[in-house]
């Protein structure tokens, strides 16, 4: 308790200092946003956020797919929760998820497609897929044993793998890592985004499950 007496004044000071700093930030310099607008033609997509995420700063997104994968590796390495008891889903959840899951999948596809020139994109679509997966898991659905090994791992690794493969391929063809040639930039971005969407959805659902499928039964 003694420690906490000093905490509040300290944090207030921090707030005042940071607040003052925020208010003192000058008018934006006309640098980067203008450069972005000038280069949008070459970016392959007309939604500036998608262009930044997948093209101009695509390398950030590549590493971020790595973060997602690593988090799942961490979750799996901790093992499952053996006495995770499954209750039956109940009527409401059962019917609702039957209705919702197909809708979620369609909306995810739409968001993925529309991300090229309007708000949307791989992460939003992936989050929806993940939600669909969580609903299914809550209803007691489990991935079949046949698919829980290598096929599932491939699906999870697909996003990062596609990114790295595309980057390396472009390095060999175009000369720079992740350098999309402008005529096919939009197609490449869509392929990478589609792979990323699948991976994100699967990874999120797998994180929700906690244990590696097929491992908890042993």
Partner 1 sequence: MSYVYLYALLGVGLFVLGLNALIVHAHLMRKILAVNVMSTGVFLVLVALSSRNEGILPDPVPHAMVITGIVVSVSATALALILMLKLNRATGKNELPDRSRD
Partner 2 sequence: MNFPTGAGTDHCKRMKLLPMELILGEVPWIVVLIILPLTGGMACFLFPTISKSLGLLTSLAVISCVWGLGWQLEEDGAQRYAIGGWGAPLGIDLYADGLSLVMVAVAALVGLGISVYSSSYFRRDKANHFWPLWLFLCGALNALFLSSDIFNLYVTLELLGLTAVALVALADGSEALTSAMRYLLINLMGSLFYLLGVAFLYHSFGSLDIAILAQRVEPSPAVWAAVGLISAGLLLKTALFPMHFWLPAAHASAPAPVSALLSALVVKASFYILLRMWLEIFPIVGISFAQLLGLLGSAAVLWGGIQALRQTRLKLLVAYSTVSQLGYLFLAFPLGMSIAWKGALYMLLSHAVAKAAMFMAAGNILAAGGHDRIADLSSITQRLPLTLTAFSLAGISIMGLPPSGGFIAKWLLLEASIQSGQWWWGAILLLGGLLAAAYVFRVVSHVFTQAEATHEAREVPARMEWTALVLALVVIFLGVFASWPLAMMEIGSPFGGGS
Least distance between partner 1 and beta carbon 98 (Å): 27
Contacting residue, 44, 47, 50, 76, with partner 2 by CB under 8 A: 76
Q: CA 152, 154, 158 angle in degrees (round to 5)? A: 125
Helix (H) / strand (E) containing 161: helix 150-173
What is the residue-wise DSSP string for 32-59? HHHHHHHHHHHHS-S-HHHIIIIIITHH
Stretch binding partner 1 (CB under 8 A), from 78-86, 98-106, 144-152, 175-183: 78-86
Q: Which of partner 1, partner 2, none sits in contact with 172, Cβ below 5 to 8 A by type? A: none
Could you give phi then psi for residue 83, rounded to 5 degrees?
A: -95, 30
Per CB under 8 A, 105 contacts partner 1: no
Per CB under 8 A, 106 contacts partner 1: no
Contact 111, 179 (CB under 8 A): no
What Rg, from alpha-carbon coordinates, does the chain have? 22
The DSSP call for residue 216 is T
- Of 64 and 170, which CB lies nearer to partner 1 in the complex structure? 64
Token digits of residue 26? 């000058």
Contacting residue, 94, 174, 187, 217, with partner 2 by CB under 8 A: 174
Q: Whole-angstrom Cα distance, residue 180 to residue 113? A: 19
Per CB under 8 A, 210 contacts partner 1: yes
Neighbours of 182 (CB within 10 A): 13
Q: Whole-angstrom Cα distance, residue 218 to residue 214? A: 7
Per CB under 8 A, 6 contacts partner 2: no
Token digits of residue 18? 């940071």
Per CB under 8 A, 98 contacts partner 2: no
Least distance between partner 1 and beta carbon 16 (Å): 10
Positions in the binding site for partner 1 (CB under 8 A):
4, 7-8, 11, 14-15, 18-19, 22-23, 25, 27-28, 32-33, 36, 48-49, 51-53, 57, 60-61, 64, 67-68, 70-72, 74-75, 78-79, 81, 121, 123, 200, 204, 207, 210
Interface contacts to partner 2, rule CB under 8 A: 17-18, 20-22, 24-26, 28-29, 31-32, 35-36, 39, 55-60, 63-64, 66-67, 69-71, 73-74, 76-78, 150, 153-154, 156-157, 160-161, 164, 167-168, 171, 174-180
């Amino acid at each position: 308790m003694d420690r906490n007496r000093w905490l509040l004044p300290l944090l207030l000071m921090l707030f005042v200092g940071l607040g003052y700093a925020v208010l003192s930030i000058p008018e934006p310099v006309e640098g980067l946003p203008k450069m972005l607008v000038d280069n949008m033609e070459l970016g392959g997509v007309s939604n500036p956020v998608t262009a930044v995420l997948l093209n101009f700063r695509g390398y950030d997104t590549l590493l971020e797919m790595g973060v997602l994968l690593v988090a799942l590796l961490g979750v799996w390495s901790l093992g499952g929760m053996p006495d995770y008891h499954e209750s039956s889903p109940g009527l409401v959840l059962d019917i609702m998820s039957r209705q919702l899951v197909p809708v979620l999948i369609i909306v995810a596809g739409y968001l993925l497609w529309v991300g090229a020139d309007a708000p949307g994109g791989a992460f939003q679509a992936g989050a929806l897929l993940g939600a669909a997966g969580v609903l299914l898991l809550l209803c007691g659905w489990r991935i079949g044993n046949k698919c829980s090994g290598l096929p599932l791992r491939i699906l999870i690794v697909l996003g990062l793998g596609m990114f790295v493969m595309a980057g390396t391929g472009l390095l060999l063809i175009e000369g720079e890592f992740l350098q999309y040639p402008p005529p096919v930039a939009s197609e490449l971005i869509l392929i990478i985004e589609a792979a990323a969407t699948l991976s994100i959805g699967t990874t999120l659902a797998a994180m929700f499950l906690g244990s590696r499928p097929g491992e908890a039964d042993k």
